[in-house]
Structures are given as C-alpha cells and as structure tokens.
Structure 1
Amino acid sequence: MQEQPRILGLDIGDRRIGLAISDPFGTLAQPLLTLVRSSLRHDLKSIGRVLRKHAITEIVAGNPLYMSGDLSPQAQKAQAFAEAVRAEFGLPLHLWDERLTTTEAHRQLDTMGHEKIGRKGIIDQVAAVLILQAFLDHRRLAHEGYATESV
C-alpha cells in the first residue's frame, strides 16, 4: 500500500478546535490535539504549524447543520472559519456534514468507560476523528465505485 498525503480533520467550536489526522495510507483518522481558541490570528498560526509539521495537503472541516439540513448559526461560524483557513493556506478544504458527531463522540467515550468529567480536552478530538473518518470512508467508497455523491 502506497503512502498518501496527510489530511487534517477539524471540529470547529467557539472555544476549542479538535484536530485529527489521517494515517500515512489515508485509511484511518487518528486524534491529534485540541486547540483552545483565542483569536483568529492565533488560531490560524497554530493550525499553520500543524499543517507544516505534518505535511498536510488537504483539510476537512465539520459543518454543523441543523437536522433538517438547514444552515445553523454554528455552521455559519464554522464555514467562516474554514474559509479563513482556506484563504490563509490555499489548501483544498472540504466541508463535511457533521450532524450528531458530538453525540456519537460522547457515546464512544461512554463505551470506552471514559469519565464524563474532564472530557472537554478530548471530545473535540474524537469528533474530529469521526468527521475525518467519514470523509476518508466516503472517498474510498467513491474510488471503488460504491459511493454515488462526489466529495
């Protein structure tokens, strides 16, 4: 199996941004870190360091739509931040529907027996992993001819 360029997954929140990274073969998403937000300038600088350190070539950002598929206020904020990232670094950036991602992240941590107290630092990473993994799976299935929608 040939190594693939790395993809960064982002779970963008008001206070924190969860980051996940694809494995060298582009098949598995792995948690990376959680950035505590301070200012747009500082947040972009931190993301830039991650992009350079891991030779990231593509980014997937969660798009928190309402269950109806309509644009939520949080989705507007996430899209604005994602556009700032795209403008700053010039990398391909995909918005990925992340409905129920945080709920699923909590469910997975419950299953693993992780205490509810102290999850703030990890829940965003788990959500970023779920976002990125869904994107990687969809891309693989599309490549194999199983997925009908384009990414």
Structure 2
Amino acid sequence: MALYNLSEFLSLLPPGSRLLGLDPGSKRIGVALSDVGLRIASPYTTLQRTKMKFNAVEIGEIAVREGVGGLIIGLPLDGEQTLGPRAQAARDWAHGLSDLLGLPVAMVDESYSTAETHERLIEAGVSRARRAEIVDKLAAAEILQRALDALQA
C-alpha cells in the first residue's frame, strides 16, 4: 500500500476503527493506541526491533486484537525538516509494513518526541531504569497524539 497524507488517510479508515502509532527505533518499536473516537492516544507496549516479518506479525496481532484500521508512523526529519537517511529508512520500513499488513499508513514528524518524553520523565523523577522501559511507548503516544490533533483540526 502507499503512504498517505492525513486527510487521505482518514478517508480510508473503516468506521469505528482505531489507530496504532509506531515509533520505530534501531532497537525497539514504541507502540501506542488511539481510542475509537480518534481523539486520545495511549501508550500500549514496546516491541524489540527484529526482522521486518517478525515485527509485522507482532504488530498485525495487535492490530487485529484492538480493531486497528490504520498506522501512524513517526518520520524522523532532520533539523532542517528534510528527509535524511534516517527518514528514508523509516519511509522504507513503513512501506514494507503497510505491504505486509495491508493497512494504510500515514507518517507524522516525530522531531524531538523521544527527547521531550525523556525530559518530562526526568522532571517527574522517574528512575533511569524505568525511563528505559517506558520511553518508547510514550514517544509513540506523543507521535500518535500529534496525528490525532491534526485530524481534528
């Protein structure tokens, strides 16, 4: 399947479906889930990054179990908001995942989502060990919430 802009993406979603937000990193994939009203993103889980086909199975199982109709994937734009090597790798990964799962994908700028999440956790006094456990799914929720807010605008 193709990657869509948010307005096209919204028209492809089955009524009553939820969105899955993904923050793919080099070692882990943060996962977040929307409500059925597409207004609130919640952290869901963190997956270990492995081969695409194995991650696709895990993500597909979550999508079926939770009634997901589409994926929002973080796009790591560089400081000048352009597509660098990391962003191109993320786009390639998103295309592959969409093809394997048959779900539409929209990509959202993830700039600073992980850094901002880390900063908030430090300010909240969360231990380093606990931050490592939860930062990826919280960053995925931040990315998904950005998309949900844009869809409501």
TM-score normalized with structure 1 length: 0.86
Q: Give the structure with the higher percent helix.
A: 2
Give the Å deviation of 1:121.
Answer: 2.2
Count residues in correspondence.
Answer: 139
SS of the residue corresponding to residue 43 of structure 2 reads: strand
* Residues 39, 148 of structure 2: 8 Å contact kept: yes
Q: Does the alignment pair 1:39 with 2:51?
A: yes
* Residues 52, 97 of structure 2: 8 Å contact kept: no
Gap regions ≥5 residues in structure 2:
1-14
Highest RCO, 1 vs 2 (Cα 8 Å, sep ≥ 6): 2
From 1, 25, 35, the equivalent of 1:23 is 35
Hey, what's the Cα distance between the residues in 2 that align with 1:86 and 1:43? 12
TM-score normalized with structure 2 length: 0.85
Which residue matches 2:98? 86
Hey, what's the Cα distance between the residues in 2 that align with 1:111 and 1:78? 30
Hey, what's the Cα distance between the residues in 2 that align with 1:112 and 1:53? 32
Hey, what's the Cα distance between the residues in 2 that align with 1:52 and 1:4? 13
Which residue matches 1:68? 80
Query: Which deviates further from its counterpart, 57-66 or 87-96?
Result: 87-96
Question: Where in structure 1 do 4 or more consecutive aligned residues deviate above 6 Å?
Answer: none
Which residue matches 1:148? none
> In the TM superposition, what are the counterparts of 1:1-151 in structure 2 within 5 Å?
4-141=16-153
Hey, what's the Cα distance between the residues in 2 that align with 1:121 and 1:78? 22
Hey, what's the Cα distance between the residues in 2 that align with 1:124 and 1:35? 9
1:64-112 CA-partner distances (Å, limit 9, x unpaired): 0101012222212211111111111221100101111111111221232
Which residue matches 2:6? none
Hey, what's the Cα distance between the residues in 2 that align with 1:113 and 1:23? 28
